[in-house]
Amino acid sequence: MQKDLLYTKTHEWARVEDDIAVVGITDFAQEQLGDITFVELPAVGDTVEAGQEMGSVESVKAASELYSPVSGEVIEVNGDLEGAPEKVNSDPFGEGWFIRVRLSAEPAGLLSPEEYEEIAKAEH
């Protein structure tokens, strides 16, 4: 569990620094999904909205929606995932990040590491 991050019930994380947030999925999520084969992300310049669908992640088991934890404009997308989606499995909080967002609003309704841990535990 990464202590410096905020989480969603749908297993995304956000690292917020000033008005920028980096977004990805949690270690628990990648473990549940299994080998990830494809990540579909928004494009640079797209707007994402907290709680709304922003893409999908596909593993050998299933394809699942991604929900944005924050609202704002996408300023960078992790292009490495196109050729190496397995980075989400090997390093979900680092090299396996998804998008970088310039926030249009203060993040709200996100879970603390402790709160998220409870949810993950319950789902296990």
Count the residues of the shown chain that bind other proteins, applying the rule CB under 8 A.
Answer: 10
Instruction: Examine residue 75 and tell whether it contacts other proteins (CB under 8 A).
Output: no
* Window of 6-14, 62-70, 73-81, 104-112 that interacts with other proteins by CB under 8 A: 62-70
> What's the closest the beta carbon of residue 34 comes to other proteins, in angstroms?
10
Q: Is 18 left (phi over 0), alpha (psi -120 to 50) or beta?
A: left
Please report whether residue 95 would count as binding other proteins according to CB under 8 A: no
What DSSP string describes 76-112? EE-THHHH-TTHHHH-TTTTT--EEEEESS---SPBP
How big is the chain by its Cα radius of gyration, in Å?
Answer: 13
Contacts with other proteins, residue ranges (CB under 8 A): 37-38, 40, 58-63, 65
